[in-house]
Amino acid sequence: MSDPSDLARRHLLIGSAGAAASLVLPAVADAATKTPSKPAHPAHGAPTMSNYFTTPDGTQLYFKDWGAGQPIVFSHGWPLSSDSWESQMLFLASKGYRVIAHDRRGHGRSSQPWNGNEMNTYADDLAGLLNHLDVKNAVLVGFSTGGGEVARYIGRHGTKRVAKAVLVSSVPPLMLKTAANPGGLPIEVFDGIRAGSIADRSQLYLDIAGGPFFGFNRPGAKRSQGMVDSFWMQGMQGGHKNTYDCIKAFSETDFTEDLKKFDVPTLVIHGDDDQVVPIDAAGRSSAKLVKGAKLIVYAGGPHGITDTHKERLNEDLLAFIKA
């Protein structure tokens, strides 16, 4: 049998809790009626640095939306994320521009769908994001695979929201060597990347970053372990299936007809020591296909010039945007 004193204490506690609830709950209910619900996506300019957007097939895309002014929209390379643009985004936002970058489906913090890991869907995802944010008069900037995404976006959706375009170390018009594209890379190169991804994806990313991506395999190169680690971290955030499929997307997609549809001022920037996306088959060829395009060649520049040449790249982007 329970001790009468214990029962008394329990009744006292229950009574006290009930009294407290009777005081607190009406206040909470009253506050709820007076406080408007928050929107699913904070309005532009709200104190937040990231949001999510859901595509028609249910894929959630992470994006950053910083600053205010003319929008500059960035598309990243493989197997990276929007973090790879942080130097350019911080610089341009500080100069009075609105900067937007998303993690491609299956990359970074976006969800990892089994399907849709190809250029048409990538471009449609970008279109959906621009529509969602109602972006107008934008400068689209694509690096490597992201340059293909920008090209396919313009090819499929036109330039009604676009003022200018920039292709940095970008894969268009076609990376794969074919009879019509003898300057491309043989299929064995991309088969090797796929094999490396299956065998040891983590080591593959370390090898790429520690070697040709930043040019750290060149004699006298000063290796940055920070750059290597950042590349590896971003790559390992992505889904295995997604990053594997993306190898085919960036290497075998032909963007020739997309480039011919460019009708806005376009800047092409490429390093002439790019061991990942050779300048002759990519940057120089793209500049010839886009009517009126301006080509800037970084002498000795590797593939990853967004990091190795970030100060120069920032200034070149700013000058082009302001022109």
How many residues are listed for the chain in this entry? 323
Helix H or strand E segment including 61: strand 60-66
Token pair recorded at residue 53: 């957007």
Report, as residue numbers or ranges, the catalytic residues.
144, 274, 303
Query: Can you tell me the distance from the alpha carbon of 152 to that of 125, in angstroms, rounded to the nearest whole number?
Result: 11
**Residue corresponding to tokens 């329990």:** 10
Token pair recorded at residue 234: 């971003």
Phi-psi region of 44 (alpha: psi -120 to 50; beta: other; left: phi over 0): beta
Q: Annotate 165-225 with DSSP letters as a single string.
A: EEEES---S--B--SS-TTSB-HHHHHHHHHHHHHHHHHHHHHHIIIIITTTTSTT----H
Token pair recorded at residue 232: 């590896």
Task: Tell me the C-alpha to C-alpha distance, in Å, between residue 88 and each of 84, 268, 282, 292.
Answer: 9, 16, 22, 25
On whether the CB atoms of residues 290 and 297 are closer than 8 A, the answer is no
Helix H or strand E segment including 6: helix 4-34
On whether the CB atoms of residues 88 and 306 are closer than 8 A, the answer is yes
Query: Can you tell me the distance from the alpha carbon of 170 to that of 281, in angstroms, rounded to the nearest whole number?
Result: 10
Instruction: List, in sequence order, every residue forming a beta bridge with 73; answer none if it has no partner.
Output: 100, 140
Task: Tell me the C-alpha to C-alpha distance, in Å, between residue 193 and each of 80, 205, 247, 294.
Answer: 15, 10, 8, 32
Helix H or strand E segment including 289: helix 283-289
Contacts of 28 (CB under 8 A, 6+ apart): none
